[in-house]
Structure 1
Amino acid sequence: MSDWRCFKLGLSPDIIAHRGSSKEAPENTISAINLSWLHLSDGVEVDIRSTKDNVLLCLHDKSLLRTGGLDRKLKDLKYEEVKNIDVGSWFSSKWSEETLPPIEKVLRHIPEGKKIFIEVKEESLTDNLIEEINKSPVNNDCIRVISFYENVIKEIKEKTNLKANLLISFTQQNISVNALKEKLVELKADGIGAENHKLLNKEFVNEMTSVNKETHVWTVDNSDEALKYLKMGIASITTNIPKKIKETIQKN
C-alpha cells in the first residue's frame, strides 16, 4: 500500500536533514537522525558503506579516522571490530556513546510519513541494500536511493519500485544539460541530486522538468539560498540545519 504522505502534494520543497541534524549532533548517528524529527525535517539523508562481512553501516568517509579515530577503511573490518567504536566524541564529549548504526536500525527510526534518502557510497552494495529495505517497516514510497554511481541507480530501477536520484557535482565535472537529461532517461532515474552551485538555476530545473525529472539540491545552510531554490521549484533541500531552513520556507 502506498503512503500518500511521502508524495509531493504542495509547492514547497521537502527539507531533508543532511546526515541527520548534523550541526547539533554527530553525523550519521541515531541521535542526529532522531533530532532531525524534532527539527521539523520532512526526511533524513544518510550515507552507507559496507563492512568486510557485508553489514551496511552509516558512514560518509571510506575511513573511520575522522569520526572514529581509527585510520582503517570500513571495508577492511568486520562488524564485530567496529560496532562499539565511539563516533560521537569527535563532535562533543556528550555524544561519546554514539556508534555506527546499521541501516537496518536506522530504518526503524524513520517515523511513518517521513522520508529517508540513502546515499550509496560503494557500487557493490545494491543487492544488500534492497534486502535490508525489503525487511524494513518503511513504506517504499518514503525511501529514495541516491548515488553518484550510475550503475547503482540502474540496478535500483531495474530490481525495485524505489525512487532513485543520480547525484552530480558541478565542481567535479563539466555538465552538459542535454547529455544529463539523456542519461537520466536512460537510467530511468526519478531525478537529479545537484550540488548547491551558481549553475543550478531556474533554466536547469526547467530542463529537468521537461523530461519529467525532479531536481533536488544539497547542501543548503543559508536562508537566502533556500528561498532562491523555493522559487525555482526544487523538490527537496538537503541541509545541516533543517529547523532553520524549514522555518524560513514556512514563512514564505
Structure 2
Amino acid sequence: MRVLGFITKRPIILSLVLGLIVSSLSYFFQPLFPYHSIAHRGASAYAPENTMASFQKAVALGFDFIELDIRMSKDQELIVIHDADVKRTTNGEGFVRDLTVDELKQLDAGSWFHPNYSSEKIPLLSEVLDTFGGKINLLIEMKFPENETNMTEKLAHTLYEYFEQGLDPSTVKVQSFHIFEIKKFHQLCPEVSAGILLSKPLDMFHLASYRSFASFLAVHYRLLSKSLVNQALFFDYEIYTWTIQDQPLFTVMQKLGVHGIISNQEKKKTSKFTVD
C-alpha cells in the first residue's frame, strides 16, 4: 500500500516541480519593457526633495519626468512641498497653509539634507514651470486638494496660463489620491493627462468607471501584479509605480510591463541591459 501511495503521489509531485521550473524560467525570460523614469520629488537621493536643486539634478541625470508635490500657502499660492508641516524639510515650524509665500521663502529648505544646500528655498509651482517647463516632463501631485480651498481650480488656471505662453500640455501630468478632485481637474483641464494614486487595489467596476477622466494609475509597487497590469491595460490605462528604492525592483517592475517607475534614484546601468 505504501508503494502504491508513493506511485500515486509521484506524478503530482513531479507536476508541481515541473510547474515551478516552468514558472521560474518563464519569469527569467520575460522581456524588460521600456519605461519612463520619474524622479520622485526630484532626484531626491542626491539633493533635497522638492527643491530646484533636486529638479536640476533630475535633468542632469536624464530622468524623463520630475514628480513634485503641491500645497496652498496662506495667501493662496501653489507651493512645492510634500508635508503639511514645514518642520521636516526646513528650519522652520508651522503648517504650509498658515504661512504666506514671504514667510515660506525665508526658510532654509536644504540644510537638513546637507550644508551645501543651505541656500535652497521652497519653490513656487510657477518657478518650477518657468525653469523646467518644456525642459523635462512634469508629474504634479495635488496633496489633499479636498482640504485646500480652490487648489484644483488654481492649478488648472495656472497651467492654462503657461499653455498660452507655449508650454505643451502633453509634457504635464497631474495626479492625486482624491478621485473626486482628479475628476474635477479633468473637467477643468482636459488637455492634461490625469491619474489616480492607489494604495489599495481597484475592482473592474471602478477601473471602468474612472477611465472617463483618468488616463493613468500610479500604484504602490507592493500592490502590483501581472493580473492588475493586464486589467488596467484592458481599459487602456498607463501604469506607473511608486516608490522604487532597491535596484532589483526596477527589473521586477519592467517585467510586469509598467509604463513609468517613480524613484528617488536612477537605475544603475549594466553591460547586459540599458534602458532606452
Normalised by the length of structure 1, the TM-score is 0.87
Deviation per residue, 1:129-169 (Å, 9 max, x gap) = 11221222531101000100112211121111110110011
- Whether 2:187 is the aligned partner of 1:162: answer no
Aligned length: 236
| C-alpha distance in 2 between matches for 1:159 and 1:251 | 35
Q: Which has the larger radius of gyration?
A: 2
Runs of 4+ in 1 over 4 A off after TM superposition: 245-249
Greater mean deviation of Cα atoms: 29-38 or 219-228: 219-228
- Whether 2:68 is the aligned partner of 1:46: answer yes
Deviation per residue, 1:20-74 (Å, 9 max, x gap) = 0101100000000000011110010000001011111110000001011323100
- Which of 75, 92, 96 does residue 70 from structure 1 map onto? 92
SS of 1:164's partner is strand
| C-alpha distance in 2 between matches for 1:228 and 1:248 | 16
| C-alpha distance in 2 between matches for 1:116 and 1:181 | 24
Contact 1:41 1:246 in 2 (8 A): no
In the TM superposition, what are the counterparts of 1:183-198 in structure 2 within 5 Å?
183-186=209-212, 188-197=213-222
Contact 1:230 1:249 in 2 (8 A): no
- Whether 2:143 is the aligned partner of 1:121: answer yes
Contact 2:34 2:275 in 1 (8 A): no
The RMSD of aligned alpha carbons is: 2.1
Structure 2 counterpart of 1:211: 235
| C-alpha distance in 1 between matches for 2:228 and 2:274 | 24
Structure 2 counterpart of 1:6: none
Q: Percent identity?
A: 28
Greater mean deviation of Cα atoms: 65-74 or 84-93: 65-74
- Whether 2:171 is the aligned partner of 1:142: answer yes
Deviation at 1:191? 1.2
| C-alpha distance in 1 between matches for 2:272 and 2:85 | 35
Structure 2 counterpart of 1:238: 262
SS of 1:207's partner is helix
SS of 1:116's partner is strand
Contact 2:247 2:267 in 1 (8 A): no
Contact 1:41 1:243 in 2 (8 A): no
In the TM superposition, what are the counterparts of 1:6-155 in structure 2 within 5 Å?
12-110=34-132, 112=134, 114-123=136-145, 124-136=150-162, 137-155=166-184
Q: Aligned pair in 2 of structure 1 residues 212, 27: CA closer, same or farther (>3 Å)?
A: same
Structure 1: unaligned runs, 5 residues or longer: 1-10
Q: Aligned pair in 2 of structure 1 residues 245, 208: CA closer, same or farther (>3 Å)?
A: farther
| C-alpha distance in 2 between matches for 1:141 and 1:79 | 29
| C-alpha distance in 2 between matches for 1:84 and 1:248 | 48
| C-alpha distance in 2 between matches for 1:148 and 1:182 | 17
Contact 1:40 1:246 in 2 (8 A): no
| C-alpha distance in 2 between matches for 1:36 and 1:248 | 24
